[in-house]
């Protein structure tokens, strides 16, 4: 048994153990921390599976965005009081859910293990046409060149998610700002941390987005890191969340999908097909679209974590 | 020359692993959250620093080496902040925070 | 050499696993949030070692991303622990 195989088996067992603990954890907060740990271990697994783009996304979203969201939600739930007996699922419901999950896992494992050694794949064709797009990263090519319509729809889903979160606000708060107001004396530790980290983080976020054209990275990962920087500034109370009826905010939320869709429609006139790019101009157009997408993703994720408006709108 | 660099890497990384294990022993054995926090942040950060030091000779370029140092510096910042924040939370709410 | 790097990565993951057993079950939330810190630091170390051993490309950026976001769980924990009305700064109660 080689060292690498032993390491892989150990990592897999650790992931299983943490996942099992998360399921049986005592209380929502403990389960949330277990989930964050599980996410970080998963990005190690993605590295071992040579899916570095996915590992970057898992690291950025799992520890930055989802972790903060869940921990805030768990703490808020605890402050609101414990759940009543009717709200916790019964034993038979849990057993049914467990059986369903096991069935899905077994099916997935069976499919993966029974795959032929050279399974059906489009990877060679994708790599073959890569130079035409001007990109070096096949994942980015799939997202923005080969399969762009799907990506546009995903960005639209993000906008819908923000609308859904905002609709949770009480009527009188509609249009107001989520989160707490800016503090006159922000907590010194968090303030120092945010002030030192934010410039570095913004630089790294832009770098990850820009380098995604040729190496692992891309708009989503860069946008997630930028969102995290905005979130830490809001958490440190150095800045406050914008009002949800602010025009610039709403423009920022739709800028990405709108620009992407416009490029797709323009492709009909200019390059002869929906979402076709004129040859030779593909890479600049892709980077142009990705710039707006990164901006939208950053604003969207930060607003999702900030939550529904909790203050009345100022006029 | 490369043998010396390899020996240096092995020594530094080995020391780093030792500190990680020492941090875990501290986590297991220390009686209250603040001392466990101390074991975690100090020992693990030192362990990571030694691992980074050991990997520096193996970096492919100066830029890659600088990235490694940047990672270590950011983890130092994060560790210092997290230990302050968690320590404050423990002190505010008592040991059974 | 790469076997040694992989073995050390495994040793660090083992240390993280044992530490997780202790802190995930530990009494109180502060212990549990330490688990996030533990996996952050240990995970980055294992990541760097595995990347150096297997020669995977682009892993530097993953380690950078993990390092930047390492303290976010603790920040979120502390941020949500204080109710909205509580004074934000505790610098007054230091002796």
**What are the tokens at A5?**
């195989």
Query: Which of A33, A60, A79 is the closest to C36 by Cβ?
Result: A33
Q: Total domain count for chain A?
A: 2
pLDDT in the model for residue C85 = 41
Q: Residue A11 domain-assigned?
A: yes
Q: Residue C10 domain-assigned?
A: yes
Is the Cα torsion angle A246, A252, A258, A262 positive or negative in sign?
positive
Q: What percent of chain A has pLDDT over 90?
A: 48
Which residues 127-156 in chain A show a CB within 8 A of chain C?
A: none
pLDDT in the model for residue B81 = 93
Is the Cα torsion angle C75, C79, C82, C85 positive or negative in sign?
positive
pLDDT digits 0-9 by tens, A143-179: 888 888 899 999 999 999 999 999 998 888 888 888 7
Q: Residue C92 domain-assigned?
A: no
The contacts of residue B33 (CB under 8 Å, 6+ apart) are B86, B90, B95, B97, C26, C28, C30, C31, C34
Cα gap A110→B96, rounded to integer Å: 45
A187 in Cβ contact with A237 (< 8 Å): yes
pLDDT in the model for residue C81 = 67
CA distances from A298 to A130, A136, A253, A256, B90 (A): 28, 24, 9, 10, 33
Q: Residue C80 domain-assigned?
A: no
Determine whether the interchain pair C73/A36 forms a contact, defined as Cβ–Cβ distance below 8 Å. Answer: yes
Look over chain A and give the mean of its residue pLDDT values, rounded to a whole number.
88
Cα gap A256→A162, rounded to integer Å: 14
> What is the domain extent for residue C43?
2-75
The yes-or-no verdict on residue C84 having pLDDT over 70 is no
The C-alpha of C95 sits at a distance from chain A's nearest C-alpha, in angstroms, of 16
Contacts 24+ apart (CB under 8 A), A94-99: none
The verdict on A79 touching C (C-beta cutoff 8 Å) is: yes
- Tell me which of A41-55, A116-130, B34-48 is least confident: A116-130
Q: Give this complex's ipTM.
A: 0.89
A250 and A193 together in one domain: yes
**What are the tokens at A190?**
């968090």
The yes-or-no verdict on residue C46 having pLDDT over 60 is yes
**What are the tokens at B47?**
């362990």
Residue of C22, C37, C46, C56 to mutate when probing chain B, most B C-beta within 10 A: C37
The yes-or-no verdict on residue B97 having pLDDT over 80 is no
A39 and A156 together in one domain: no
Cα gap B40→B60, rounded to integer Å: 31
Averaged pLDDT for residues A99-127: 88
Determine whether the interchain pair C13/A21 forms a contact, defined as Cβ–Cβ distance below 8 Å. Answer: no
Q: Total domain count for chain C?
A: 1
Cα gap C6→A163, rounded to integer Å: 46
A61 and A136 together in one domain: no
- Tell me which of A66-70, A145-149, A269-273 is least confident: A269-273
Q: Which other chains touch chain C, taking contact as 3+ CB pairs less than 8 Å apart?
A: A, B
Cα gap A27→A30, rounded to integer Å: 6
> What is the domain extent for residue B65?
2-93
pLDDT in the model for residue C55 = 81
Find tokens 């050991």 and name the residue. B54
The yes-or-no verdict on residue B23 having pLDDT over 70 is yes
Q: Residue C83 domain-assigned?
A: no
pLDDT in the model for residue C82 = 60
Find tokens 């709403």 and name the residue. A250
A246 and A159 together in one domain: yes
pLDDT in the model for residue C31 = 86
pLDDT in the model for residue B96 = 54
3-state helix/strand/coil string of A165-184? HHCCCCHHHCCCCCCCCCCC
- Domain end (from A79, A113, A143): A79
A309 and A208 together in one domain: yes
Contacts 24+ apart (CB under 8 A), A139-145: A139/A53, A139/A216, A139/A218, A140/A212, A140/A213, A140/A217, A140/A218, A140/A286, A143/A218, A144/A286, A144/A289, A144/A290, A145/A277, A145/A282, A145/A286
A183 and A240 together in one domain: yes
Between residues A25 and A297, the one the model is more confident about: A297
Averaged pLDDT for residues A11-22: 92
pLDDT in the model for residue A83 = 59
Averaged pLDDT for residues A58-65: 89
The C-alpha of A66 sits at a distance from chain C's nearest C-alpha, in angstroms, of 10
> What is the domain extent for residue A284?
127-315
* Cα-to-chain-centroid distance, residue A109: 25
pLDDT in the model for residue B95 = 59
The yes-or-no verdict on residue A84 having pLDDT over 80 is no
pLDDT digits 0-9 by tens, B49-61: 999 999 999 888 8
Structure confidence at residue C56 as a pLDDT band (50, 70, 90)? confident
Stated pTM of the model: 0.91
Cα gap B32→B67, rounded to integer Å: 36
Instruction: Give CA torsion, residues A155, A63, B18, B67, to 10 deg.
Output: 50
pLDDT in the model for residue B22 = 93
Instruction: Give CA torsion, residues A171, A176, A180, A186, to 10 deg.
Output: -170
pLDDT in the model for residue B2 = 86
C39 in Cβ contact with A21 (< 8 Å): no
Cα gap A188→A173, rounded to integer Å: 30
Structure confidence at residue A99 as a pLDDT band (50, 70, 90)? very high
User: Measured between alpha carbons, how far apart are the two ends of chain C, in Å?
Assistant: 51
The yes-or-no verdict on residue A294 having pLDDT over 90 is yes
The yes-or-no verdict on residue A85 having pLDDT over 60 is no
Helix axes C29-54, B62-93, angle to 10 degrees: 170
pLDDT in the model for residue C57 = 79
Residue of C15, C43, C69, C75 to mutate when probing chain B, most B C-beta within 10 A: C15
Which residues of C are less than 8 Å from B97 in CB distance? 28-30
The C-alpha of A54 sits at a distance from chain C's nearest C-alpha, in angstroms, of 10
- Dmax over CA atoms of chain A, in Å, equals 69
Q: Total domain count for chain B?
A: 1
Residue of A44, A183, A213 to mutate when probing chain C, most C C-beta within 10 A: A44
- Give the 3-state secondary structure of residue A61: helix
pLDDT digits 0-9 by tens, C9-26: 999 999 999 999 888 877
Between residues A223 and A79, the one the model is more confident about: A223
pLDDT in the model for residue A133 = 83
Cα gap C60→C50, rounded to integer Å: 11
pLDDT digits 0-9 by tens, A117-142: 777 788 888 888 888 888 888 899 98
The contacts of residue A303 (CB under 8 Å, 6+ apart) are A162, A165, A178, A241, A244, A249, A253
pLDDT in the model for residue A75 = 80
pLDDT digits 0-9 by tens, B64-85: 999 999 999 999 999 999 999 9
Look over chain B and give the mean of its residue pLDDT values, rounded to a whole number.
90
Query: Among the residues of C26-58, which ranges form H helices?
Result: 29-54
**What are the tokens at A38?**
């599980």
A182 and A285 together in one domain: yes
pLDDT digits 0-9 by tens, A189-205: 999 999 999 999 999 99
- Domain end (from A79, A112, A140): A79
Q: Count the residues in chain A.
A: 315
A62 in Cβ contact with C69 (< 8 Å): no
Q: Residue A106 domain-assigned?
A: no
Averaged pLDDT for residues A18-36: 88
Q: Residue A167 domain-assigned?
A: yes
For chain B, give me the number of helices (H) and strands (E)? 4, 0
pLDDT in the model for residue C88 = 41
pLDDT in the model for residue C86 = 43
- Domain end (from A23, A57, A79): A79
Which residues 23-82 in chain B show a CB within 8 A of chain C?
A: 23-24, 27-28, 33, 36-37, 40-41, 44-45, 47-48, 51-52, 55, 58, 64, 67-68, 70-72, 74-75, 77-79, 81-82
Cα gap A210→A259, rounded to integer Å: 18
The yes-or-no verdict on residue A40 having pLDDT over 80 is yes
């Amino acid at each position: 048994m080689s060292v690498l195989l032993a390491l892989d088996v150990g990592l897999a067992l650790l992931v299983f153990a943490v996942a099992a603990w998360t399921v049986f954890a005592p209380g929502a907060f403990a389960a949330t921390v277990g989930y964050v740990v599980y996410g970080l271990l998963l990005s190690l697994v993605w590295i071992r599976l040579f899916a570095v783009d996915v590992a970057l996304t898992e690291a950025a979203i799992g520890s930055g965005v989802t972790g903060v969201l869940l921990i805030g939600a768990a703490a808020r739930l605890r402050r609101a009081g414990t759940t009543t007996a009717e709200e916790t699922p019964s034993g038979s419901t849990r057993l049914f859910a467990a059986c369903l999950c096991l069935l899905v896992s077994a099916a997935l494992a069976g499919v993966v293990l029974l795959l032929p050694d050279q399974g059906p794949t489009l990877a060679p064709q994708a790599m073959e046409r890569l130079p035409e797009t001007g990109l070096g990263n096949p994942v980015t090519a799939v997202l923005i060149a080969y399969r762009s319509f799907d990506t546009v729809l995903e960005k639209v889903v993000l906008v819908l998610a923000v609308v859904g979160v905002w609709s949770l606000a009480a009527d009188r708060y509609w249009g107001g700002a989520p989160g707490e107001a800016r503090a006159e004396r922000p907590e010194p530790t968090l303030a120092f941390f945010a002030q030192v980290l934010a410039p570095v983080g913004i630089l790294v976020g832009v770098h990850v987005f820009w380098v995604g054209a040729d190496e692992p990275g891309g708009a989503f990962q860069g946008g997630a890191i930028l969102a995290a920087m905005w979130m830490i500034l809001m958490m440190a109370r150095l800045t406050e969340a914008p009002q949800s009826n602010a025009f610039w905010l709403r423009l920022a939320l739709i800028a990405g999908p709108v620009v992407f869709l416009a490029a797709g429609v323009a492709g009909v006139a200019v390059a002869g097909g929906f979402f076709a790019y004129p040859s030779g101009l593909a890479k600049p157009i892709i980077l142009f679209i990705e710039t707006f997408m990164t901006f939208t993703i950053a604003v969207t994720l930060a607003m999702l974590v900030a939550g529904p408006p909790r203050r009345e709108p100022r006029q | 020359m490369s043998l010396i660099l390899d020996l240096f890497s092995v020594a530094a990384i080995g020391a780093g692993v030792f500190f990680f294990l020492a941090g875990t022993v501290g986590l297991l054995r220390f009686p209250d959250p603040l001392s466990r926090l101390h074991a975690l942040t100090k020992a693990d950060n030192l362990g990571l620093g030694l691992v980074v030091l050991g990997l520096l000779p193996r970096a492919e370029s100066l830029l890659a080496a600088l990235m490694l140092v940047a990672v270590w510096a950011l983890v130092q910042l994060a560790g210092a902040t997290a230990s302050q924040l968690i320590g404050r939370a423990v002190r505010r709410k008592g040991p059974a925070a | 050499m790469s076997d040694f790097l992989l073995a050390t990565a495994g040793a660090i993951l083992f240390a993280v696993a044992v530490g997780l057993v202790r802190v995930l079950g530990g009494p109180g939330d502060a212990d549990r949030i330490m688990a996030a810190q533990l996996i952050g630091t240990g995970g980055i170390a294992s990541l760097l070692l595995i990347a150096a051993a297997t020669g995977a490309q682009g892993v530097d950026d993953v380690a950078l991303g993990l390092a930047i976001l390492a303290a976010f769980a603790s920040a979120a924990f502390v941020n949500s622990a204080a109710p909205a009305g509580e004074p934000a700064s505790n610098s007054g109660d230091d002796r």
